[in-house]
């Protein structure tokens, strides 16, 4: 069917190629050029301004710390969810639906949800108060309590972002043939051995794409931070936003954007290399 009219597939993909060219490739090049030029000539002035900014080191550190803490916890919870749900028959659909609800929740909404719990007269303080841990309202989200603020943001991110990892991992687990598990059981492998030696290697592709997706998103963290801590907790995208909207300096904002892109690309390449998926070992 392809011989007589070979142009058909090209016609079908053309609109999306043009679209992505105009709104993905062009802005990508523009961002890079904005970041490394000044008045139309190549220059590292913007990079320099970014690096010497008072919030720069802090935002780099905060973003990396958040990613390092949040992503592994999300993967662990998602794996736990996946293995738990595989063991039950009735009620499986409902439980999966409940666990996927955060998939539809934006980072801004997640921040606001946890703000209602962690604000001074919120539910968390009420709980601590009734347990006798604190005697009056404690504040967790101010610049004086950076560690508590960090934990609050991490919890909100874990709460929201685990659903997507869970969906990818459950989709991966569904593709593992039952026979593998049964064979391992016959040969006497315990549940722990089965998990590490059978399940985990077989869902490597799913793990890889979950890790790439989540890590790229984690470096983009912004609204959840803003909702919980305002500007008390600088992160990379937040700085880009401030340079763009408050300072109206598009070039330094672009420099931040380039930095975030480089980090995201580097993380993706690391995952691709670390999880080299051998097609012959797939089910």
Partner 1 sequence: MNMQAISSEAAATANPASFVSSRRWLLWSGIAALCAWVLVPIYLVALGALGGRQGVYIWPKTGLPTGISLEPFILFLQTEGVVRSFLNSLGAAGITVALSILLGAPAGYALARYNFVGKDSYRLLVLLTRAFPLAILALPLTVSFIRLGLYDTIVGVGLIHTVLALPFAALVTQGIFLGVPKELEEAAWVFGCTRIQAFFKVVAPLALPGIVATAVFAFVISWNEVFAASVLTVRNRTLTAYLLTVLSESSMHYRFAGGLMLILPSVVFIFAVRRYLFAIWGISSK
Nearest distance from residue 141's CB to partner 1, in Å?
A: 12
CB 204 within 8 A of CB 271: no
Q: Kindly report the three-state secondary structure assignment for every residue of the chain.
A: CCCCCCCHHHHHHHHHHHHHHHHHHHHHHHHHHHHCEECCEECCHHHHHHHHCCCHHHHHHHHHHHHHHHHHHHHHHHHHHHHHHHCCCCCHHHHHHHHHHHHHCCHHHHHHHHHHHHCCCCHHHHHHHHCCCCCCCCCCCCCCCHHHHHHHHHHHHHHHHHHHHHHHHHHHHHCCCHHHHHHHHHCCCCHHHHHHHHHHHHCHHHHHHHHHHHHHHHHCCCHHHHHHHCCCCCCHHHHHHHHHHCCCCHHHHHHHHHHHHHHHHHHHHHHHHHCCCCHHHCC
Q: Which is nearer to partner 1, 145 or 264 (CB)?
A: 264
Q: Which is nearer to partner 1, 115 or 148 (CB)?
A: 115
Return the bridge partners of 37, or none. 42
| Residue 61 beta carbon to partner 1: minimum distance, rounded to whole angstroms | 18
Q: How far is the CB of 241 from partner 1 (least distance, A)?
A: 7
Instruction: Indicate the residue among 144 and 218 with the shorter CB distance to partner 1.
Output: 218
CB of 188 to partner 1, least distance (A): 5
Smallest gap from Cβ 52 to partner 1, in A, equals 20
Task: Give whichever of 69 and 173 is closer to partner 1, judged by the CB atom.
Answer: 173
Minimum Å distance from CB 255 to partner 1?
10
Between 6 and 41, name the residue whose CB sits nearer to partner 1: 6
User: Could you give the CA distance from residue 73 to residue 86 in angstroms, rounded to a whole number?
Assistant: 20
We find the least distance from the C-beta atom of residue 113 to partner 1, in angstroms, to be: 4
Terminal-to-terminal C-alpha distance of the chain: 31
Please report how close the Cβ of residue 64 comes to partner 1 at its closest, in angstroms. Answer: 15
Other Cβ atoms less than 10 A from the Cβ of 267: the count is: 19
Please identify, using beta-carbon distances, which residue of 55 and 165 lies nearer to partner 1: 165
* Closer residue to partner 1 (CB): 57 or 262: 262
In the bound state with partner 1, the residue whose beta carbon lies nearer, of 13 and 54, is 13
Provide φ and ψ at 122, rounded to 5°: -90, -175
């Amino acid at each position: 069917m392809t011989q007589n009219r070979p142009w058909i597939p090209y016609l079908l993909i053309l609109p999306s190629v043009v679209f992505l060219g105009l709104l993905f490739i062009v802005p990508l090049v523009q961002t890079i050029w904005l970041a490394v030029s000044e008045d139309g000539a190549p220059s590292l002035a913007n990079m320099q301004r970014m690096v010497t900014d008072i919030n720069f080191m802090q935002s780099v550190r905060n973003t990396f710390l958040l990613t390092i803490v949040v992503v592994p916890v999300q993967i662990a919870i998602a794996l736990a969810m996946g293995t738990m749900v595989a063991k039950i028959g009735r009620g499986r659909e409902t439980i999966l639906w409940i666990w996927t609800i955060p998939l539809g929740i934006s980072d801004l909404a997640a921040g606001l949800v946890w703000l209602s719990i962690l604000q001074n007269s919120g539910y968390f303080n009420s709980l601590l108060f009734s347990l006798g841990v604190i005697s009056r309202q404690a504040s967790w989200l101010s610049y004086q309590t950076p560690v508590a603020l960090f934990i609050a943001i991490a919890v909100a991110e874990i709460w929201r972002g685990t659903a997507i990892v869970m969906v990818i991992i459950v989709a991966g687990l569904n593709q593992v043939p039952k026979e593998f598990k049964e064979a391992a059981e016959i040969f006497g492998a315990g549940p722990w051995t089965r998990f590490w030696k059978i399940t985990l290697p077989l869902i490597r592709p799913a793990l890889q794409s979950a890790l790439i997706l989540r890590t790229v998103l984690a470096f983009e963290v912004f609204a959840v931070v803003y909702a919980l801590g305002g500007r008390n907790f600088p992160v990379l995208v937040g700085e880009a936003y401030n340079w763009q909207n408050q300072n109206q300096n598009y070039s330094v904002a672009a420099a931040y954007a380039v930095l975030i892109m480089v980090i995201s690309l580097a993380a993706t390449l690391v995952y691709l290399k670390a999880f080299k998926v051998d097609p012959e070992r797939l089910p």
